[in-house]
């Protein structure tokens, strides 16, 4: 019997053969088109400038421009990306299968370079895009690092903004104290030109300080679990916040500013990739899976020679380290940091990203962080209604997928970059 014509089936059979490399190529084509004709096309369609976030903001602000924005998105992004991806599929499949013969690092670097190219070209067109993109990447790091504690180890930690604040302040003090003329720390000690090479050390310092702070949660976690540990961690967050507010040496509630512009897109992209890579390595090793064992049954873990205390300390310190690095980058992206940023609002944001994306999953964290960050920006024109729509979405996800969109899934790079033409799928 012939199946009825279904649009979804056609789309699936047309695009299922496109490998990840093909989509990257498509994306590259789309941003190239935008670079070449975006401005003229926007003028032609009666829009004042190129829509910044796929037309979402324009559509919500001026409903009359919906057709124009939709056409723009279709012509500039959807059509070029799909056509190039589909047409190039035979070639990209061949390249993908050839790349797989090399050690996995090389094809991954190749894909990442392409991805970076797309992001760079896309964000090149407006400062707003650049900022949004960098903040999104930072929230990927944050979400992933919180997932180590809340997802992989299953403790409900609320102290992430606190870790982030520690990292942000430690890194800020490092750069402002040494490399910038600042109202709190006085003139620069070292030449600022040297700074961008030393910036990684500042971030490491931030991560280290955050990890040190995490000991305050890790030690109580030996004896307390669940709600009580959540309360301890919440208390920690408030302690950090009010401590910084009352420390005049680091600017008090007014915070610190005049950070040099070191957290550029390449730097943030590099740190995000490093974070994903290291966390993925960790959670897929047996040493890292001990976190899951401690979460699912601590007594059984002990009986199977797992040092549960060490495991907990490692999880907290590791999660906090990356939160600290993300905090350091965050301060340098905004080029301003004050204690008020690291409060309940931030906590709700990160927790939402973790639980929306999915527990115990690197994919989930990336999806959760990217989708909620972009959604938050895209719905900005709705003002107060944004805070109705996003929580509503969260409620729906919690009802239909209680552990998040993509939970408990192993992140497999080889699967992502494999060719999809039926040949060489058995890698």
Partner 1 sequence: MALLKVTDMSHDFGGLRAVNNYHLEIESGEICGLIGPNGAGKTTIFNLITGIHRPTEGAILFEGQSIVGLQPYEIAARGISRTFQNLRLWRHMTVLDHVKMARYSKLGYGLVGALFGSGRCRRQEAAIEEKARGLLDMVGNGRFAQQMVPNIPYSAQRRVEMARALATEPKILLLDEPTAGMNPEELAQMMRIIRTVHRTLGLAIFLIEHRLKMVMERRWCDAVDGK
Nearer to partner 1, 125 or 287 (CB): 287
Residue by residue, what is the 3-state secondary structure of 344-401? HHHHHHHHHHHHHHCCCCHHHHHHHHHHHHHHHHHCHHHHHHHHHHHHHHHHHHHHHC
Binding mask 297-326 for partner 1 (x = CB under 8 A): x-xxxxxxxxxx-----x------------
Asked if 103 interacts with partner 1 (CB under 8 A), we say no
Among 201, 222, 385, 408, binds partner 1 (CB under 8 A): 408
Asked if 281 interacts with partner 1 (CB under 8 A), we say yes
339 closest CA partner among 162, 215, 146: 162
Which residues face 257 on adjacent strands?
A: 336
Cα–Cα separations (whole angstroms), residue 386 to 120, 276, 381, 383, 398: 28, 29, 8, 6, 18
Report residue 148 as tokens. Answer: 């180590």
131 closest CA partner among 255, 265, 39: 265
Q: How many positions of this chain bind partner 1 (CB under 8 A)? A: 27
Q: Directed axis angle between helix 226-246 and helix 195-218, to 10°?
A: 130
Nearer to partner 1, 125 or 413 (CB): 413
Nearer to partner 1, 331 or 354 (CB): 354
Q: What is the closest distance, in whole angstroms, from the C-beta atom of residue 266 to partner 1 in the complex?
A: 21
The footprint of partner 1 on residues 330-369 (CB under 8 A) is: 360
108 closest CA partner among 273, 317, 349: 273
Q: How many CA atoms does the CB half-sphere of 425 hold within 13 Å?
A: 7
Nearer to partner 1, 311 or 338 (CB): 311
Among 233, 292, 365, 373, binds partner 1 (CB under 8 A): 292
Asked if 225 interacts with partner 1 (CB under 8 A), we say no
Nearer to partner 1, 17 or 308 (CB): 308
Asked if 286 interacts with partner 1 (CB under 8 A), we say yes
**Interacting residues toward partner 1 by CB under 8 A:** 278, 281-282, 285-290, 292-293, 295-297, 299-308, 314, 360, 408
């Amino acid at each position: 019997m012939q199946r009825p014509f279904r649009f979804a089936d056609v789309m699936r059979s047309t695009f299922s053969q496109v490998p990840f490399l093909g989509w990257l190529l498509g994306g590259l084509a789309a941003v190239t088109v935008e670079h070449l004709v975006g401005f003229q096309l926007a003028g032609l369609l009666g829009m004042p400038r190129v829509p910044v976030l796929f037309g979402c903001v324009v559509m919500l602000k001026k409903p009359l421009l919906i057709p124009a924005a939709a056409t723009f998105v279709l012509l500039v992004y959807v059509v070029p990306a799909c056509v190039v991806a589909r047409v190039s599929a035979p070639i990209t499949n061949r390249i993908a299968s050839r790349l797989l013969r090399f050690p996995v690092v090389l094809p991954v670097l190749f894909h990442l370079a392409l991805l970076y190219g797309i992001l760079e070209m896309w964000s090149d067109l407006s400062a707003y895009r650049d900022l949004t993109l960098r903040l999104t990447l930072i929230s990927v790091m944050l979400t992933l690092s919180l997932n180590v504690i809340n997802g992989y180890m299953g403790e409900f930690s609320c102290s992430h903004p606190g870790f982030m604040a520690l990292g942000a302040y430690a890194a800020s003090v490092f750069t402002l104290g040494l490399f910038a003329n600042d109202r709190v720390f006085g003139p620069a000690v070292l030449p600022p030109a040297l700074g961008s090479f030393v910036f990684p050390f500042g971030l490491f310092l931030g991560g280290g300080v955050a990890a040190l702070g995490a000991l305050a949660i890790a030690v109580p976690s030996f004896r307390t679990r669940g709600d009580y540990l959540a309360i301890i961690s919440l208390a920690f967050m408030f302690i950090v916040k009010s401590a910084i507010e009352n420390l005049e040496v680091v600017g008090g509630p007014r915070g610190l500013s005049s950070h040099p512009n070191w957290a550029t897109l390449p730097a943030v992209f590099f740190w995000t990739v490093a974070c994903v890579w290291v966390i993925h390595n960790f959670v897929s090793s047996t040493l890292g899976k001990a976190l899951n064992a401690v979460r699912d049954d601590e007594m059984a873990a002990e009986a199977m020679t797992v040092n549960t205390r060490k495991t907990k300390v490692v999880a907290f310190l590791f999660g906090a380290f990356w939160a600290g690095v993300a905090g350091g980058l965050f301060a340098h992206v905004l080029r301003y940091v004050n204690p008020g940023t690291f409060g309940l609002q931030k906590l709700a944001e990160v927790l939402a990203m973790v639980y929306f994306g999915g527990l115990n999953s690197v994919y989930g964290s990336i999806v959760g962080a990217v989708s909620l960050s972009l959604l938050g920006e895209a719905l900005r024109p709705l003002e107060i209604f944004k805070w109705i729509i996003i929580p509503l979405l969260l409620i729906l996800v919690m009802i239909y997928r209680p552990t998040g969109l993509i939970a408990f899934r192993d992140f497999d790079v080889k699967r992502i970059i494999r060719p999809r033409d039926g040949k060489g799928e058995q890698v």
